[in-house]
Structure 1
């Protein structure tokens, strides 16, 4: 049912009657190239919803080692990953201006020995990524796990 008569893809059935969509993305991919792709797809999803007249409300919560890709000084990032990490940070900064909120789990930050002040400015540190995700689900946000 998702394919129209001309073979085009459609979300019409799923979004019928929907005016807003709230989602919290729980992200733990552990690979900067994959994470770069994920961040771009989250923005694409936001854009597609807007094009279909659905107001997106997105929160992206990074847990685990992914928080290391969000630091200003990028310490400990191998040279081979620098380009992907720079891309991640650039896209996060760009997409934050479009209304996507980004958070980093404080438990993961502590585990990676990263002080919250080392995060890029568009990423908000929270005490626990799990608590954040639980709370947003209780507020009606759909969980989108990305592993």
Structure 2
């Protein structure tokens, strides 16, 4: 009985297994004219923040490869906000090298005409002066409102919080 059940389950799984791995980005994007996207960036570790920003850059490149890039917005909030500040006063000295890499990545994204916004609630909670946020980034009052607004306008929402 067990052997028959296993054979039956394998036969049922064959169509699923044959489909696995065959779906391409090109197929997924079929029918999409332009992909307007808002990325919610809320990570607490500077290395993860840098990784997420690089992943966003790669995602934009991939959308461009398929000629599907629309407007892109990156909304930064949480402790990652400390690393998008001018000067050295908001982070420990040991974190300055990764902060510089994050700032370089911010400049790369801004040069690609990606809109960058910083949550004003996060700056207030973390004691960051809004004037100390990098010039490539606009400070908004509340990034939740920003996320809501862009989603209501049809922007795809991408949550980058995994592995915070």
TM-score (norm 2): 0.82
- Give the root-mean-square deviation of aligned CA atoms: 1.4
Which position in structure 1 is the counterpart of 2:40? 26
Whole-angstrom distance in 2 between the partners of 1:17 and 1:80: 48
- The answer to whether structure 1 residue 104 and structure 2 residue 118 are counterparts is yes
**What whole-Å deviation, never above 9, does each CA across 1:46-88 have from its counterpart, x for those lacking one?**
0011011112321111111111111101313112211111111
Task: Decide which structure has the larger Cα Rg and report it.
Answer: 2
For residues 98-141 of structure 1, give each alpha carbon's deviation from its aligned partner in whole angstroms, at most 9, with x where no partner exists. 11111110000011111111111101100001000000001111
| Mapped partners of 2:160, 2:114: distance in 1 | 16
Contact 1:68 1:74 in 2 (8 A): no
In structure 2, C-alpha distance between the alignment counterparts of 1:97 and 1:29, rounded to whole Å: 23
Q: Which residue of 2 aligns with 1:114?
A: 128
Contact 1:25 1:145 in 2 (8 A): yes
CA contact (8 A) 1:28 1:65 kept: yes
Separation in 2, partners of 1:109, 1:11:
37
Q: How many matched pairs?
A: 143
Q: What are structure 2's unaligned runs of at least 5 residues?
A: 1-18
Q: Which runs of 5+ in 1 are unaligned?
A: none
Q: How does 1:1-147 map to 2 (within 5 A)?
A: 1=19, 3-4=21-22, 10-147=24-161
TM-score, normalized by length of structure 1? Answer: 0.91
Structure having the higher helix fraction is 2
Q: Secondary structure at the match of 1:61?
A: strand
Q: Verify the 8 A CA contact 1:2 1:13 in the aligned structure 2.
A: no
